[in-house]
Structure 1
Amino acid sequence: MKKQNIHRLRIAAILLACAAMAAALGGCGIRKASTSTQTRTAKVTRGAISVTVHGTGTIQPTSVQAVSSTVTGKVTQIFKQNGDPVNDGDNIAEVTATGTGATTDITAPMDGVVALSQLTVGTPVQPGMTVCQVQSAASFNAVVNVDELDIAGVKAGQKADVSVDAISGKLFSGTVQKISQVGVATNGVTDFSVTLSMDDSTGLMSNMSASADIHTGENQNALLVPVEALQTKGADRYLTVRTTSGKTTKDTQVKVSVGLISDTQAEITSGVNEGDTVVLPSLAPTNGTSINGLNRNSSDSSSSSGAAASGASSTASGGKAS
């Protein structure tokens, strides 16, 4: 009888363990994940948009003139060193002519500062040989590098806000004067040089580090949508417009014309009206679909959401997603 009781207890323990395991498995059972997500929408609003392009570079003098000797000889005296201020006609160095022993002075061609001078006593010189430069000290330009993705929006005459690392708390005003037509590639990134004339050069010195925000466009009364709502097919842009009639909701793809584009907002110049509802891409992608609505498993790669150029920034009002 004792052995039978022990046997019954073992069977009961096994049954209890199985019941507990079944309960655990039931609580952790695999459930089908919901792929449904709430559709996000936004209203077409009217507001202001301002787009800027950023660039970094240095402060450069507006005028640079080469200085050369007029005779063959050797430098016998130095009157001005690199960085020394000079007025037009000041003596920079004295040269003793070979053969005659006559002395001739090398003079400054304009007001400014001496730069890139390699002159030392005993340096041989010849007529026309550049011995140094004189750079303007009263007026400067900011020369900044702009990314190739942003350069198309930069035009001569556009205004810019320039900050200089060495002069904190002051914002200089500049104007786009020249845009280089030849880019320089560094580590796979191509930049274009943009020269900004400065309205005020007070406190500026050559080669100071500078950065600029160039105002490439603005509209105070624009129709705006979130930039993520834009879709692209070839060269055309589209928005998905949602209309509701009673309990029926209809989404229609509408071709639109686009004006200014910032990091967050896009200006729509035709195709939709203020107050229209546009559909935004899902934030919970499934089946290989990105949050911008680009199906990475589809062979049709012509439809994707628009995006602003990487270096541009802006401030804009209106167009909050729901």
Structure 2
Amino acid sequence: MRSTFCSFRARFALRLAIVAFAFGILAACKGGDGAADEEKQVDTSVPVEAVAASRRSISASYSGTATLEPESEAEVAAKISGVLLKLLVEEGDQVQKGQVLARLDDENPRLNLAKAKATLKKLENDYQRSSEMFERKLLSVEQNDKIRYDLETQRATYDLAQLELSYTNIVAPISGVISRRMVKVGNYIQVNQALFKIENFEPLLAVLSVPERELNTLRTGQVVRMRVDSIAGKTFEGAIQRISPVVDPATGTFRVTCEFHDETGQLKSGMFGRLEITFAQHDDVLTIPRTALIEEDGETAVFVVVSGAEAAAAEKKDGESAGTAEASAGKSNDDKKSGADKSDPETKEAPIPEWVAKRRLIKIGYGDNEYVEVLGGLDEGARVITVGRSAVRDGTAIQVLEGVQ
């Protein structure tokens, strides 16, 4: 009997130890969860970068791209056939209108000219004698006129032979730069065969296809600034030369031709240019970076950095301004919840974050590639989120990175 009682007490003590151990594990787990929750609450702050709204000058402009092309260009073609004997220019050479670029074999045209000259001289002598005989009435009118017509025909033949001889000198029809040579010395050149291409780089043109909505904002003579990829760090200034009065119905655009005079000779035909036409400017206006804008549902908004205490005070004030009828209707339920909260020792308020993001509607005006003008909804100095705004919502706790103004 005594042995049975001792066995019972041993089993009872073992059970108590197990229960105590279990409660200890639960308490430890609960405490650990609380620490994890607290740590998790801190880590939920979203890191962002913010920039303060500041005052600056801003311009309204249109930007586009175009390929540079010459004002005038020409392909130099042969007007007579023959072997190319000499090249006098090369690609890249600057030439003037009328300058000799190459020479063809002139032996045959020179012989034709000599033959035509000899025949012309003979007919001139014949006509002189014919005229003397006609005055003496020794020659009829018909005979005298025939010799005169033959003389006039030979004079035309002689002029043509002179012209063909001149065609053996290939001359430049316009001033410009030799952009391409298409023949070599010794080639047999056919009539109308292209030998050179000349482009006049003064000025160079850039033709933009501009949307119809800009038709009333662009004017002839407005300043155009251009950057080209191959010449880094330099901006070239030009002007609008002409604007087409017709809108292409297929594309909804109109042509704007801009001209550039480059005395340095750095600009070349075919270069890809990025153009900007400024048509208005506002000075000393409130601006923010374009990267801060949120445009959706026809509205423009930004996320502003607000202190957590300020946001909590604003929310509390909004809660206190709720209607009296609504507060009365929910009074009994609030009392019950309050009692339940007071009775629960684990219930406590969430910590207030240092910074939160608040969505704010704004009105914008002019804008360029980097900044936009703020017409309303934002005060000077207010910090707007520029990096990380896609990861936040209204009221999200944020961490503003140090060193970002």
Query: Normalising TM by the smaller chain, what interval?
Result: 0.5 to 0.7
Q: Give distance in 1, aligned partners of 2:276 and 2:258.
A: 9
Matched to 1:260, the amino acid is Y
The yes-or-no answer on 1:206 pairing with 2:234 is no
1:196 corresponds, among 258, 270, 294, to 258
Aligned to 1:143: 206
Alignment of 1:222-301 (within 5 A): 260-262=366-368, 263-266=370-373, 284-285=392-393
Larger Cα-atom Rg:
2
User: How much has 1:92 moved relative to structure 2?
Assistant: 1.6
Return the offset for 1:206: 2.3
Shift of 1:64: 1.6
1:4 aligns with 2:10: yes
1:298 is matched with none
Distance 2:226 2:373 in 1: 26
Task: Write 1 or 2 for the structure with the bigger share of helix.
Answer: 2
Q: Determine if contact 1:59/1:204 at 8 Å carries over to the other structure.
A: no
Q: CA deviation at 1:167?
A: 5.8
Distance 1:286 1:275 in 2: 19
Structure with bigger strand share is 1
Normalised to the residue count of structure 2, the TM-score between the two structures is: 0.45
**Alignment map for 1:151-190 (pairs within 5 Å):** 156-163=220-227, 171-178=235-242
CA–CA distance in structure 2, aligned partners of residues 79 and 216 of structure 1: 45
1:70 partnered with 2:66: no
Cα deviation, residue 159, structure 1 = 0.9
What's the CA shift string for 1:40-87, capped at 9, x where partnerless? xxxx99864213444555554333223222224443432222222322
Q: How does 1:76-115 map to 2 (within 5 A)?
A: 76-96=85-105, 104-115=168-179
1:136 is paired with a residue whose SS is: strand
Separation of aligned partners in 1, 2:73 and 2:79 = 19
Contact 1:71–1:97 (Cα < 8 Å) also in 2? no
Offset at 1:136?
2.4
Whether the aligned pair in 1 keeps the contact of 2:71 and 2:203 (CA below 8 Å) is yes
5+ residue gaps, structure 2, are 1-5, 42-52, 113-164, 303-316, 322-360, 396-405
Deviation at 1:95, TM superposition (A): 3.1
Q: Distance in 2 between matches of 1:8 and 1:255?
A: 69
Q: Contact between 2:76 and 2:173, CA under 8 Å: does it hold in 1?
A: yes
Q: Please name the residue that 1:296 is paired with.
A: none
* Structure 2: distance between partners of 1:218 and 1:149: 18
Once the two structures are TM-superposed, the CA of residue 105 in structure 1 deviates from its matched residue by: 1.5
Runs of 5+ consecutive residues of structure 1 not aligned to the other structure:
34-43, 186-190, 241-246, 288-322
Whichever residue aligns with residue 26 of structure 2, its letter is C
Q: Which amino acid aligns with 2:73?
A: V
Sequence identity percentage:
21
Secondary structure of 1:197's counterpart equals: strand
Alignment partner of 1:119 is 2:183: yes
Distance, in Å, in 1 between the alignment partners of 2:225 and 2:180 is 30
Post-superposition offset of 1:141: 1.9
Question: Cα distance 1:147–1:22, how it changes in 2: closer, same or farther (>3 A)?
Answer: farther
2:40 is equivalent to residue 22 of structure 1: no
Q: TM-score, normalised by structure 1?
A: 0.54
